[in-house]
Amino acid sequence: MKRAVFPGSFDPLTLGHYDIIERGLKLFDEIILAIGVNAEKKYMFTLEQREHFLKESFKDESRIKVMTYEGLTVDFCNKTDSGFILRGLRNPADFEFEKAIAHTNRKLAQIETVFLLTSSGKSYISSSIVRDVIRNGGDYTGLVPDAVRI
């Protein structure tokens, strides 16, 4: 079975994430949406809310699992018998950042990283932009799946 981990904070889940996940299902038998927990980071949404966003958005897709983890992503991949990490790229800066992480992960655990380019109509969406729109009372509904519209 080809299993991939799609790691992130998903604070919140965006249509950019959703795009990568849906397209990743064409490549993998199963995708684990892995919510990374970092005690040092301040989140807008609670872990429970973020889990709900993911589970609700993919409730009809049996090949998607939602889990949380702490520590190295490669350790989580080994623990879940996942041979791949799925990542989305919006721009060249994302590529440079993700490339260094992918090389490190491959060195640590022989985990392959698969990059998908975000669809052009969604490449400008990021969780940090969505959080800023929400904080400032803007209409963020066109940036997130229905489950995130609070």
Q: What is the pLDDT of residues 20-73, one digit of tens each?
A: 999 999 999 999 999 999 878 899 999 999 999 999 999 999 999 999 999 999
Mean pLDDT (the chain) is 95
Q: What is the pTM of this model?
A: 0.94
DSSP-derived letter for residue 22 is H
Residue 144, pLDDT > 80, answer: yes
**Residue numbers annotated as active site:** 17, 41, 90, 127
Q: Which long-range contacts (CB under 8 A, 24 or more apart) does 105-112 make?
A: 105/73, 105/74, 108/72, 108/74, 109/74, 109/75, 109/77, 109/78, 111/74, 111/77, 111/78, 111/82, 111/83, 111/84, 111/85, 112/83, 112/84, 112/85
pLDDT digits (tens, 9 = 90+) for 92-107: 888 999 999 999 999 9
**In this predicted structure, what is the pLDDT of residue 120?**
86
**In this predicted structure, what is the pLDDT of residue 24?**
98
**In this predicted structure, what is the pLDDT of residue 94?**
85
Candidate CATH numbers 3.30.750.24, 3.40.50.2300, 3.30.70.330, 3.40.50.620; the one for domain 3-145: 3.40.50.620
User: Which residue, 110, 113, 80, 107, is CA-closest to 95?
Assistant: 113
Q: Report the pLDDT averaged over residues 145-150.
A: 90
Strands (E), the chain: 3-8, 30-36, 64-69, 84-89, 112-117
**In this predicted structure, what is the pLDDT of residue 36?**
94
**In this predicted structure, what is the pLDDT of residue 129?**
95
Residue 89, pLDDT > 90, answer: yes
Positions at the binding site: 9-10, 17, 41, 73, 87-90, 98, 122-128
91: confidence class by pLDDT, cuts 50, 70, 90: confident
Positions at the binding site for substrate: 9, 41, 73, 87
CA 123 to chain centre: 14
Query: Is-contact 87 115, C-beta < 8 A?
Result: yes
